[in-house]
Structure 1
Amino acid sequence: MGRPIGAITRGTTGHNRLRRADRWIAAVHGRLLRSADRPLVVDLGYGASHTTTLELFLRLRRVCPPVEVVGIEIDPARVAAAKPYERPGLSFALGGFELPVSRPPLLVRAFNVLRQYGEAEAWDHWTMLRGGVAPGGVIVEGTCSEVGHRAVWAGLDGSGPRTLTFSTRFGGFERPSDLAERLPKALIHRNVPGEPIHAFLRDFDHAWAVNAPLSPYGSRQRWISAVRMLSRTWPVVERPPLGGPARWRLGELTLPWAAVAPGLTGGPDRH
């Protein structure tokens, strides 16, 4: 095997940091995993601790008992530290974006690994990952806060990015645009006037403000009402498993990627 592709991350991690993404993966892609005879999932760049990879394994086993999970890290010391926690169906390996596993994975989770790259590099790594998954496979790539209360992730398949999901803990933000700092690398520098993602966050903030009278009933009711208002002008996904009240109640909102895809402002249109 050649040298792993990528750069070492800070490695910050912690218990339940990725619970929101794991919950979404299990609900949205559980059927995909169950459709395979030997479903393989890769947790790319799990960090200085095996914790979030183990949590992903345990959560996915509840919806797909035969699933196998491989945690991949580019730092040999981190892999060595995780090895004692291996068990049947869970293993750890040295590698990077080239995905050095025995067979193409059906799903790749990659969180907090592209923040250190430029936008063009991030698109290139997306392309590499898309080429490494099994036919019909998916990639969930995003960023979350240190304790996981704010997260945004893109859902990709072999054709490119398909969805963008916002997820937040109620009480963990003042207005929806606070999640802008967690946008994927492909969008975070596009949050400027003239770009779709900027217009979306502006409109989300407006819907949140208009629904302030619902605050006495709790942030959950205010969020649901704001999302319904937003859906009048934006193609918010409303049908399960990606959308609808059941997901909105969890502090989630999913859009088709095409609705917020980068325009020509600030660089080449690569979507």
Structure 2
Amino acid sequence: MAPRTTKPRGEVTRGTTAPNRLRRIDRWITATQTGPLRTGPRPLVVDLGYGASPVTTVELYTRLRRVSPRAEVVGIEIEPERVAAGLAFLDNAPGRYEGLSFRRGGFELPVERPPVLVRAFNVLRQYEEAAAWQAWDELSARLAPGGVLVEGTCDEIGRRAVWVTLRGGRPQTITFAAHVTSLDRPSDLAERLPKTLIHRNVPGERVHALLTAFDHCWAMAAPHSAFGPRARWIEAVRLLARTHPVLVHPPHGGRARWRLGELTLPWSAVAPAP
């Protein structure tokens, strides 16, 4: 796939970013996506719309290299000044980040070969729902065979996040992740739903039923608060699994992931009603 010189596709984001804002999604990627990340001698990963600072792209590169030492990461931004900031960072650290680069672009993904993984976080929030669905299709079509798109949103300091994975152009899973100590109830995560779902959190939709049930399980698990908020989250997820298709086995589920404040389900559990 040759780099393209056409105008980048997409809109400029707010650019808000901060160190460790995306640590939850990075931790999840390195634990659950080792298959794509170890495909071929130089698996390519794209960080789309990294914002005003390259810090989260650099963090993604560092974390991926621990599980895929030859992975290459390209940070892509529409705004030229943001690309310049990434290039300046590399200039100030010569030789330290082999395989990390920055370039201008958008949904067209101006890279030399199809990526095995695209992370697009806090990119589609400003789009209309129909445009978000279209972006999913467009990005998925540019993945390498077996590649994965991870798209979602988080709050400003990364304490609450929701993301969806797509393979073969179809959404596969949805993950809710929270700093459980600061969480009042699971449905507080609704404000971080991807654009394809955020307006569907109403009675009659699966995502609303899921979050309502999760709140009920959270209330039922209140006695476990004596052992800490993580224990309460784990018990609430265990109760939810009785009525919803929670992924309960590694790498996506199980006590180790739940203890981190995560919950992953198949997309069918939240897919919009026809």
Q: With structure 2 as the length reference, what TM-score do the two structures score? A: 0.95
Amino acid at match of 1:24: W
Amino acid at match of 1:28: T
* Residue equivalent to 1:28: 32
Q: 2:112 aligned with 1:102, yes or no? A: yes
Tell me how far apart the structure 2 counterparts of residues 35 and 83 of structure 1 sit (CA, whole Å): 27
Tell me how far apart the structure 2 counterparts of residues 39 and 10 of structure 1 sit (CA, whole Å): 29
Amino acid at match of 2:29: I
Q: 2:208 aligned with 1:198, yes or no? A: yes
- Partner of 2:101, secondary structure, is strand
User: Which of 10, 13, 17 is the equivalent residue of 2:14?
Assistant: 10
Tell me how far apart the structure 1 counterparts of residues 179 and 169 of structure 2 sit (CA, whole Å): 31
Tell me how far apart the structure 1 counterparts of residues 172 and 148 of structure 2 sit (CA, whole Å): 10
> Cα deviation per residue 1:119-162 (whole Å; 9 max; x = unaligned)?
00000000000001100000110000000000000011113100
> Cα deviation per residue 1:190-211 (whole Å; 9 max; x = unaligned)?
0000000000000000000011
Identity %: 64
Q: 2:263 aligned with 1:263, yes or no? A: no
Tell me how far apart the structure 2 counterparts of residues 129 and 35 of structure 1 sit (CA, whole Å): 19
Tell me how far apart the structure 2 counterparts of residues 2 and 140 of structure 1 sit (CA, whole Å): 25
Tell me how far apart the structure 2 counterparts of residues 172 and 165 of structure 1 sit (CA, whole Å): 18
* Gaps in structure 1 of 5+ consecutive residues: 265-271
* Residue equivalent to 1:175: 185
Residue 36 of structure 1: CA displacement?
2.0
* Residue equivalent to 2:159: 149
* Residue equivalent to 1:125: 135
- Partner of 2:9, secondary structure, is coil
Is contact 1:150-1:172 (8 Å) kept? no
Aligned residues: 264
Is contact 2:245-2:266 (8 Å) kept? yes
Residue 33 of structure 1: CA displacement?
1.0
Residue 35 of structure 1: CA displacement?
3.0
Q: 2:240 aligned with 1:236, yes or no? A: no
Q: With structure 1 as the length reference, what TM-score do the two structures score? A: 0.96
Amino acid at match of 1:139: L
Is contact 2:185-2:215 (8 Å) kept? yes
Residue 34 of structure 1: CA displacement?
1.4
Is contact 1:141-1:153 (8 Å) kept? yes
Q: Which moved more, 1:213-222 or 1:10-19?
A: 213-222
Tell me how far apart the structure 1 counterparts of residues 34 and 104 of structure 2 sit (CA, whole Å): 27
Is contact 1:30-1:60 (8 Å) kept? no
Is contact 1:138-1:155 (8 Å) kept? yes
* Gaps in structure 2 of 5+ consecutive residues: 91-96
Tell me how far apart the structure 2 counterparts of residues 35 and 100 of structure 1 sit (CA, whole Å): 20
Amino acid at match of 1:227: V
* Residue equivalent to 2:93: none
* Residue equivalent to 1:57: 61
Is contact 1:5-1:98 (8 Å) kept? yes
User: Which of 229, 237, 254 is the equivalent residue of 2:264?
Assistant: 254
* Residue equivalent to 1:136: 146
> Cα deviation per residue 1:81-127 (whole Å; 9 max; x = unaligned)?
11022331100000001100010000000000000000000000000
Is contact 2:48-2:119 (8 Å) kept? yes
- Partner of 1:102, secondary structure, is coil
Amino acid at match of 1:234: H
Is contact 1:9-1:113 (8 Å) kept? yes
